Structure 1
């Protein structure tokens, strides 16, 4: 158990932690260079120790919640539901990250006490502790505890050890302890293959495929061979550009256009949200999104080019274009959307996704929207309206079904859509819908006593 709840040790309180934070942030930087480096090192130790305490407190809270729910008659399969989301909110992380951190805390507490001790004394960071837990996950508990002792029992053994060396150490040890487990993990890893997309600078994205090594090497070699052949035939594009364009062409089934500015037609719906001012030549950025892909901010000129290319299609093109008007009020809140069909569930779901830029409405969650959710449950009188609706990821929608979770809309009806989440412990978190493209918050300056002037 967490030592703050055992023996004669005084309980740690949030007020004490906040007071200490105020103390160190208000401190003056020392003049001596050596002392400055010492402060940096001491703060790094503090960060590691704080991560250890967070892990221990999270484990205690999870156990307490499960015990209380068991006493209340909650089924074993439902106990602890939502705890990871509570941890995520408290740590300002996504629900997925909260699940990972809570899982790490449980593993360190129950199976890797030496790693937890090194985290507490600052010899390991939370990131490195997570790597050790991940690399030993395939081992039985007794072997995992042995690997933990071999690797982290002696703090001096970690002096000067980099992340790559530490991971190499634990991988070699795991392979020696249980080669069959490593082989099973390798076979299971093939089932985790997937494709992900994430933003990159300058209106680019990283399209990443996680595939078995043989397939990955074969795909890369095939793209490189085709790109080298095109280069030998006189194509002016670089090797990297050719491989990128060939991959897009082969995945989408469209012909290689030879230019990133004239991307091949892709048989999916792509939403370009742009203000009327920017469409007419303004400079406010726009957003580009697709089903299951959060919105990405792009410059107005890029958005206008995308729209122009979509409209300027040959007569026999299969590309279909249509325009819809999204209406915002004077405070930048999206309030309605026009459509060629009546306002039904699908259209409302599209509106909720556009209002939230395709991102889950839960605070700190960056996952794409998967579910259209009633803020006030239908069983409690919630209505199927835009005001009582929000877009959530699957994990957040399931988490709010746990006992003790509540949500309601806050703020004036004409303000931007806001939802307050209240967790079982009474903590409150507010999520505000992002501003639509082209909107700038009004800025005022004081022009005189009691007088303010709008400047932007």
Structure 2
């Protein structure tokens, strides 16, 4: 009978890896690196099997309690995500991957556990097999992964290509359907980049993508031939923004076109008055100088853009306690306050998704108040997960915006609102702010 693996045994191995001495012999060092890589893969395989077992146990228990089949297992992926320090979306992906391996591709699971495949490469293989029927996936599993020797020296691209070729042989029609489904998944996404930049990404059919890129390249080359000093990349980026938003192109090599969009720049009074404390733009930390440049740029284009300054008030511990209420474009002042409080990022631990729901920490049904102390910004997935039976949340006082989440198994996870820029500590800060707000745009940005 197999001996159960316990968390205590794994922690003992973790302690050994953290505190044990490394070998001095070069050959032994390479052997250790190789063995640790195999260990990582074996751990991923054990995680997958345990996740599937936990999901099955939860569903069985809920079925015995009379929970409808549609609602059974709700929140399991979020629990797995918390345990693995991942986002809820990633938890859902990992659980689906584990279920497929355990139920339909056991040889692939064996290759993960013996170190022949990493978790990343195993997930790529499962993705390529996903368009097949369960029966065909079983056939592909035997042909591709029954022998560890078949994977020796096989790089990631070669592995994916091998899987794709077999999928095309087993079910060509499934590949055609997959392509049609992929086209229906076209979308545009935005994610932050360093230094107050952003990645604007469009997933489109290849013909449309090539056509759009060629049009931008052609126009940029024409403008360069006419003497525009900007690089090809700068011109293509400015052309994209201009054509999508309708704002006219400018001739600046360093300043992109001004666009009418609301961006929350959060800075302390000390930073606005010339201090060095960093500021925040949509959850990204930026230097004080960049924050003042953004403010100056907004004021400079005041005739084109609507701008305002709103005050946030914090207590000595750094917790936001109030906000000036006037704003012309968003009536939900409290909701906006809570979004700013969390920097626009979901309050759930390890989740980087943007805030979509403003939620009660203590539910209204249990007497929770609709207030800033009992409110938090959550993404849609996290908000739905915490509605599952057995989940609890309570505010904590150990830091600004602290919340403790208790999962159905009794595990506890704590999260805190990110810190805000430090306010001015000198006594005459009000007069400093008033004096600098009277300055011209050029004076607002200190000279280098």
TM-score > 0.5 by shorter chain: yes
Q: Is the alpha carbon distance of 1:70 and 1:256 closer, same or farther for their aligned partners in structure 2, counting shifts above 3 Å?
A: same
SS at the partner of 1:262?
Answer: coil
Corresponding residue of 2:406: 422
Pairs within 5 Å for 1:35-50:
35-50=28-43
Contact 1:245 1:260 in 2 (8 A): no
Contact 1:262 1:309 in 2 (8 A): no
Gaps of 5+ in 1: 1-7, 290-294, 441-456
Corresponding residue of 1:114: 107
Report deviation, 1:179: 1.0
* Distance in 2 (alpha carbons) for counterparts of 1:345 and 1:74: 39
Does residue 227 of the first structure (1) align with residue 249 of the second (2)?
no
* Distance in 2 (alpha carbons) for counterparts of 1:86 and 1:357: 24
* Distance in 2 (alpha carbons) for counterparts of 1:279 and 1:327: 15
Does residue 297 of the first structure (1) align with residue 285 of the second (2)?
yes
Task: Kindly report structure 1 stretches of 4+ aligned residues shifted beyond 6 Å.
Answer: none
Contact 1:245 1:258 in 2 (8 A): no
* Distance in 1 (alpha carbons) for counterparts of 2:35 and 2:411: 31
* Distance in 1 (alpha carbons) for counterparts of 2:217 and 2:48: 46
Corresponding residue of 1:3: none
Match of 2:301 among 299, 313, 318: 313
Q: Is the alpha carbon distance of 1:89 and 1:50 closer, same or farther for their aligned partners in structure 2, counting shifts above 3 Å?
A: same
Corresponding residue of 2:433: none
Report deviation, 1:268: 2.5
* Distance in 1 (alpha carbons) for counterparts of 2:2 and 2:149: 28
Q: What is the alpha-carbon root mean square deviation over aligned residues?
A: 1.6
Q: State the TM-score, normalizing by the size of structure 2.
A: 0.92
* Distance in 2 (alpha carbons) for counterparts of 1:259 and 1:430: 47
* Distance in 2 (alpha carbons) for counterparts of 1:83 and 1:146: 30
Corresponding residue of 2:371: 385
Which piece of structure 1 moves more, 44-53 or 270-279? Answer: 270-279
SS at the partner of 1:429?
Answer: strand
Match of 1:356 among 319, 342, 358: 342
Pairs within 5 Å for 1:22-33:
22-33=15-26
* Distance in 2 (alpha carbons) for counterparts of 1:268 and 1:177: 50
Q: State the TM-score, normalizing by the size of structure 1.
A: 0.90
* Distance in 1 (alpha carbons) for counterparts of 2:169 and 2:244: 41
SS at the partner of 1:408?
Answer: strand
Q: Is the alpha carbon distance of 1:226 and 1:369 closer, same or farther for their aligned partners in structure 2, counting shifts above 3 Å?
A: same
Report deviation, 1:201: 2.8
* Distance in 2 (alpha carbons) for counterparts of 1:139 and 1:369: 36
Contact 1:108 1:115 in 2 (8 A): yes
Match of 2:98 among 102, 105, 114: 105
Q: Is the alpha carbon distance of 1:25 and 1:364 closer, same or farther for their aligned partners in structure 2, counting shifts above 3 Å?
A: same
Corresponding residue of 1:454: none
* Distance in 2 (alpha carbons) for counterparts of 1:288 and 1:377: 31
Report deviation, 1:260: 6.2
Does residue 278 of the first structure (1) align with residue 260 of the second (2)?
no
Match of 1:332 among 311, 318, 321: 318
CA deviations on 1:237-289 (whole Å, 9 max, x unpaired) are 11111111111111111011233643323232111111111111112221122
Corresponding residue of 1:146: 139
* Distance in 2 (alpha carbons) for counterparts of 1:59 and 1:301: 51
Which piece of structure 1 moves more, 233-242 or 325-334? Answer: 325-334
Gaps of 5+ in 2: 425-448
Report deviation, 1:439: 6.7
* Distance in 1 (alpha carbons) for counterparts of 2:251 and 2:157: 40
Pairs within 5 Å for 1:2-17:
8-17=1-10
Contact 1:332 1:439 in 2 (8 A): no
Corresponding residue of 2:192: 199
Corresponding residue of 1:368: 354
CA deviations on 1:77-126 (whole Å, 9 max, x unpaired) are 10000000000000000000000000000000001111100000000000
* Distance in 2 (alpha carbons) for counterparts of 1:51 and 1:149: 21
* Distance in 2 (alpha carbons) for counterparts of 1:410 and 1:277: 29
SS at the partner of 1:287?
Answer: strand
